[in-house]
Amino acid sequence: MNRARIGAVADFCAGEPVPYFVDGQWNQGTDTPIAVIDPAHAQPVCAVAVADQAEVDRAARAARAAFDRGAWSRARPDQRSRDLARLADLVERDSEILAELETLQTGKPIRESRGDVARALDGIRFYAASARNIRGEVIDVSPRHHSYVVSQPIGVVAAVVPWNVPIVLTVSKVAPALAAGNSVIVKPSQTTPLTALYLARLWEELDLPRGVYNVINGPGRSVGEVLCVHPLVTGITFTGGTETGLHLGRLASQQSKRVMLELGGKSPNIVLADADLDKAIPGSANAIFYGQGQICAAGSRLLVESAVFDDMVDGVATFAQNMKIGDPLDDGTEFGCVTSISHRDELIGWVDRAVADGARIVTGGKAAVVDGLPDGAFMQPTVLVDVPPTAPISREEVFGPVLVIQRVVDLDQAVAWANDSQFGLSAGVWSRDSGRAREIAGRLEAGVVWINDYGVFNPAMPFGGVKLSGSSHREWSHLALDAYLEHKSIWEANS
């Protein structure tokens, strides 16, 4: 039996291809549907309808028309707040369906998917509350004028979402944009569109204004890029590969659109000699192996002071060897599969090239075999040592469960190696000396730094990077809300 037909998910996938959602209507499109593949089973979950360029234009026009009608864009902030809270209630009601869809399309363990849905739910509730806090200000600059600033939505936002954490990254873009009063068109990855489409079902169930939340499927070049350069699209929010994001940024700059980019990372995780290894070992292992390493903020470079280097290598390797690799839908599975067989082969290729350059495999480095799922895209959690800091695997984003552990002589070398990167998304520091850890955190060129922890998120805290890891805008927190607002200065002459 196809595993997509388990439980309530069967209803959502019935009558495939699953249509996309534009202007409050479900559409089958005219192009050939795209199969969504369960990477653990190497079988289709379902097929989804694909938009063409004419449908992209229709979506943009519908979103702009909805914005101009004002049922959402000019609604009182407290009304938008109540509607987003109602949406959150339905997400909570259907959280298990969303988690199962997420696991089926990504291959991540169901326990991770449940955590991702909970994180997305928290994000919707956060921005439901934040909508009430949109305000302007009076600035007294002239006795002849009443001068003030009002905050207004920017218009139509194109949200381009990647395949690795689709429910979280959809919400991180959609929730603040909607809270601010914008219309949104989501272009999910063509391999993982199901949770964004399910949110459209919930939007429809609540009878919320048509044209405000739209989802279109299709390839990046023929759908995503066309959407982003459409003249009626005002803002672009993109998470994905660095080259693609920079390409979209160049295109958008020609039209002076607002662009928010969250791109790649090669995040350093520093363990000092005085660190509590009982915490640093599992924390550093989870930093890379959570999500099968397919997380932009994954702690893929572990920089360890010499005094504890061997203990950290042994501890992290043992942790990796003891992880239960299995069927992602099993509650006991700790480590699922990567997104596809081709991606797994690419990851193994990275390891093989590193070994050819002198690296040593401590554990992993090969495909994993799971009983009952012989065709699944499973890979062993992998730990490498003896890797020079200049090696490609030390500098480029691998995007998989491959950890490079390097020995450093002191904190100055650790900081220097950590910052010697084109990326600057996130970093970690482990030390019992809080003052020393804070000093290092201040010196690291990263948008997010965790001290004695890794990978903790909350919608109240901003997330984003520096250098090639992204634009100056941040996702989450009040800063993300501000990114979807225009601040208009009004001068009113006294009569």
Give the closest residue to 226 by CA, choosing from 73, 50, 65, 105.
50
CA atoms within 13 A on the CB side of 405: 27
CA angle 280, 290, 334 (to 5 degrees): 105
Give the closest residue to 323 by CA, choosing from 370, 361, 356.
370
Torsion angle, alpha carbons of 177, 180, 184, 190, to 10: 10
- Strands annotated E in 323-465: 360-363, 382-385, 402-408, 423-424, 426-430, 448-451
262 is catalytic: yes
Length of the chain: 495
Q: Where are the alpha helices (DSSP H) in 131-212?
A: 166-179, 194-205
**Separation CA 427–CA 162 (nearest Å):** 22
Give the closest residue to 107 by CA, choosing from 23, 42, 31.
42
Catalytic residue among 13, 228, 296, 337: 296
Residue type, 441: A
CB proximity list for 286: less than 8 A, separation 6 or greater: 454, 455
Provide the 8-state DSSP code for 3. G
46 is catalytic: no
What backbone phi and psi angles, to 5 degrees, belong to 385? -130, 180
The sign one gets for the Cα dihedral 473, 477, 483, 487 is negative
Interstrand relation of 34-38 and 43-48 (parallel, antiparallel or unpaired): antiparallel
Tokens of 142: 């002239």
β-strand partners of 21: 26, 215
CB proximity list for 102: less than 8 A, separation 6 or greater: 108, 113, 116, 117, 166, 167, 192, 194, 195
CA atoms within 13 A on the CB side of 311: 16
Interstrand relation of 466-467 and 301-305 (parallel, antiparallel or unpaired): unpaired
Question: 């202007």: which residue's tokens?
Answer: 23
Spacing of C-alpha 431 from chain mean position: 28
Catalytic residue among 262, 305, 397, 475: 262
Tokens of 43: 């079988």
- Could you list the active site residues? 262, 296
